[in-house]
Amino acid sequence: MSDPVPLPICFLITELDIGGAERALVKIATGLPRERWTPSVICLSGRGPLADPLEQAGVPVTCLGANRVFSPSGLWKATVELTRELRRQQPRILQTFLFHANIAGRLAARRAGVPHVLSGIRVADRRGRWRLAVDRWTERLVEKHVCVSRGVADFCVRQSGLSEDKVVVIPNGVDVEKYRDAESADLSEFNIPTDAEVLIAVGRLDPQKDPLLLLEAVARIAGARPKLHLLFVGDGPLRGSIDESVRRLGLEARVHLAGWRAEVPQFLKAATLFVLPSRWEGMPNVVLEAAATGVPIVATETEGVREIIEPGRTGTLVRSGDVEGLANAIAAALDDRSLPLQMGETLQGEVTESFTWNSVVAQYDRLYESLVVRRS
């Protein structure tokens, strides 16, 4: 009996810029066993920086270059181009990631005759009920919804009306060694003293991540903490609003915006405390990354976070939008360093054991295998 022939599987995403979903796609597409799968990647928009590691790993990348993909007309044009590409590639499975690729992929896969379609839902998206409605209207075109956390899965069933029997939960992973073994960054480039209490927030400067809430919380405790500094690593549409708030609050010397930087592991290692102030999430990669470094964590209790952190044992959680609660939690963690450090070490051990990319890829592999019947 001959060995089974590897099956073609295609991954579809809106863009290949550096983000949590995009990096997860790279890990999954490059990590699947090649004796069973022949992966390819399609990007609806232009070529992004994550196309390079995919191609270096032997995964072909096709970028459709669709402009205005976030508009209805742009999305429809991308769907037409995608249909042609799927007909050319003829994958057995199409795995999509993020809303616009999820919708375009469903429509195109039906027209192209792709046998198995799975959507990837990475966040409990509260930006508009119309997205939830579109998800629900097109659900019949999807075989499985892969949700990144139980919180996201529950949200999809409760708020979007998706079928519970189609929902599968597979978490994010983290490159444990990369973060655990990182050297601490030198923060002197930001004029942060070596003896400072350094809070770090990593992620897009976007209303979902609520960096302005963190600023307000820091302003409430800064007067009593002359060594306190806040470092934002990331960029986004709220950059100007943050600059304005920093000036209004008189925090120019103590709030630092690094922009997007590659040295995230080193910055996390240099921090006294990692803070996640998000309004909603899926399973935030950056919490796993912070946990892998061992830095103590204060976070809002959003989707996926409770599945990583147990309050009082491996970190501190506060209600989303609670500026007073966030300020108090930060101050308490800085006042008594021993307990947060102990919680950080405990969480580091648990993440090292349970959230590796090898484990995540193995779960995707088993899911895909369950959908196809192989004949030798």
pLDDT in tens, 312-323: 999 999 999 999
Place of tokens 């195109």: 108
- The 10s digit of each residue's pLDDT in 315-350 is 999 999 999 999 999 999 999 889 889 999 999 999
Q: Using pLDDT thresholds of 50, 70 and 90, give the confidence band for residue 10.
A: very high
- Note the CATH architecture for domain 7-173+356-371: 3-Layer(aba) Sandwich (3.40)
Question: Is the confidence at residue 73, as pLDDT, over 90?
Answer: no
Q: Using pLDDT thresholds of 50, 70 and 90, give the confidence band for residue 1.
A: very low
- The 10s digit of each residue's pLDDT in 101-123 is 999 999 999 999 999 999 999 88
> What's the CA gap between 300 and 342, in Å, rounded?
20
The pLDDT of residue 68: 63
The pLDDT of residue 375: 45
Q: Using pLDDT thresholds of 50, 70 and 90, give the confidence band for residue 70.
A: low
Average pLDDT for 346-366: 94
Question: Is the confidence at residue 197, as pLDDT, over 60?
Answer: yes
User: 78: closest CA among 129, 130, 42?
Assistant: 42
The fold for domain 176-354 equals Rossmann fold (3.40.50)
Per the CB < 8 A criterion, the answer to whether 36 and 4 are in contact is: yes
The pLDDT of residue 374: 58
Equal CATH topology for 7-173+356-371 and 176-354:
yes
Higher pLDDT, 176 or 133: 176
pTM for the model: 0.87
Where do the structural domains in the chain lie, given as residue ranges?
Answer: 7-173+356-371, 176-354
Q: Using pLDDT thresholds of 50, 70 and 90, give the confidence band for residue 75.
A: confident
Q: Is 313 exposed, middle or buried (0-12, 13-18, 19+ CB in 10 A)?
A: exposed
Strands lying side by side in the sheet with 197-202: 255-257, 228-233, 197-202, 273-276, 297-300, 316-318
